[in-house]
Amino acid sequence: MTSVSAFLAPEDLQASGSGPLYVKLQQALEDAIHSGRLKGGDALPPERDLAEYANISRVTVRKAVDELVRQGKLVRRHGSGTFVSRPMEKVEQSLSRLTSFTEDMARRGLSTRAEWLERGLFTPSPDEMVMLGLPAGGMVARLGRLRIADDNPLAIERASISAEFLPDPENVHTSLYAALEARNVQPVRAIQRISARTVREHEADLLDVAAGSAGLAIERISYLSSGKVVELTRSLYRGDAYDFVAELTLG
C-alpha cells in the first residue's frame, strides 16, 4: 500500500485549525495504524510523497515520523523506506496442505531466510537406514537449516534424503521440494507426526529461547507412489511463536 490517499484523507490534516502541522500528521498516521488501514510490515509512502500529498515540506513530515519512530511504532531503513513495526506474532501453518515453509510464510507476507546448519552427503545413521530404507553402502543427504521469519529464529529443520534422490545436496539453495522436483522426484503421500517436547540446550541457543521451554516437534516422512521413502524431516518449532492449523471437513 504505497498510495497516500489509500489511508490518509485530506481532511485529516487541514481540519481543526490550531496546532502544529507535524502533530496533525502524526495523529493521522497513528490513527491509520490503530484502525488497521496500515498494518504491521506495511511500507509507509516515501517522505517526499507524503509531503507533496499533504502540501507540507519533507522536514515537517520527518518530524511527525520521527516521533512515531521514537515510540517504536515505525521503523526506518535508510535507502529502503519506513515501515510499520510488527510485534512478533504467532505464525500459523496449515496442515491441510503440504507446502514448503518458505511458500507458507510468503503467503503471510513474512520475509524468511534460513541459515545452513548442515548440508552434505554423510554415512547414514542406523535410524536413517531404517526409516529411509537405504541399501547397504548407500549415502544420505542431510539438510539442516535454522528457519528465520522476520529476524526471529522460528524453527530448526533437519531433513534426510537418500542420496539416490539427491546426490548433490550442496546445490540446494532454496526449497528442498524444488530441488527434488528439478530431478523429477515427486512424493505423493506424507505422514506427519506432531508432538510437544522441551527444547534442549543447544537447540535453545539456536532458537533464542530458554532451555526447557516448550517446542513443537514435527516429523514428516514422504513417499513416492512406488512406496519408496523420499524424505525424513524432523523440525522443532518455537512453541511461543508457531501454531499449526488444521482445517477439517466432517462427514
Partner DNA sequence: GGTTAATGGTATTTTTTTGGTATTGTATTT
Partner DNA sequence: AAATACAATACCAAAAAAATACCATTAACC
Of these partners, DNA, a copy of itself, none, which one is at the site of residue 243 (CB under 5 to 8 Å by kind)? a copy of itself
What contacts 156, CB < 8 A, 6 or more positions away?
Answer: 117, 144, 145, 146, 147, 203, 206, 207, 235, 236
* Helix (H/G/I), strand (E/B), else coil: 146: strand
| Residue span binding DNA (CB under 7 A) among the ranges 32-40, 50-58, 104-112, 116-124 | 50-58
CB of 19 to DNA, least distance (A): 8
Of these partners, DNA, a copy of itself, none, which one is at the site of residue 189 (CB under 5 to 8 Å by kind)? a copy of itself
Q: Taking CB under 8 A as the rule, does residue 250 contact a copy of itself?
A: yes
CB 25 within 8 A of CB 74: no
* Helix (H/G/I), strand (E/B), else coil: 83: strand
CB of 34 to a copy of itself, least distance (A): 13
Q: Residue 109's CB: how many other CB atoms inside 10 A? A: 12
- Parallel, antiparallel, or unpaired for β 81-84 and 91-94? unpaired
CB 71 within 8 A of CB 62: no
Using only C-alpha atoms, the chain has a radius of gyration, in whole angstroms, of 24
Among 33, 60, 101, 156, binds DNA (CB under 7 A): 60
**Residues from 72 through 131 that contact DNA (CB under 7 A):** 76-82
User: Going residue by residue from 22 to 41, which x/- string records binding to DNA, judged by CB under 7 A?
Assistant: xx------------------
Q: How far is CA 80 from CA 44, 45, 46, 76, in A?
A: 11, 11, 9, 8
**Residues from 186 through 205 that contact a copy of itself (CB under 8 A):** 186-198
Residues at the interface with a copy of itself (CB under 8 A): 2-3, 18-19, 69-73, 75-77, 85-93, 95-100, 102-103, 106, 174-175, 177-178, 181-182, 186-198, 212-217, 222, 237, 239-240, 242-251
Residues at the interface with DNA (CB under 7 A): 20-23, 44, 46-49, 56-60, 62-63, 76-82
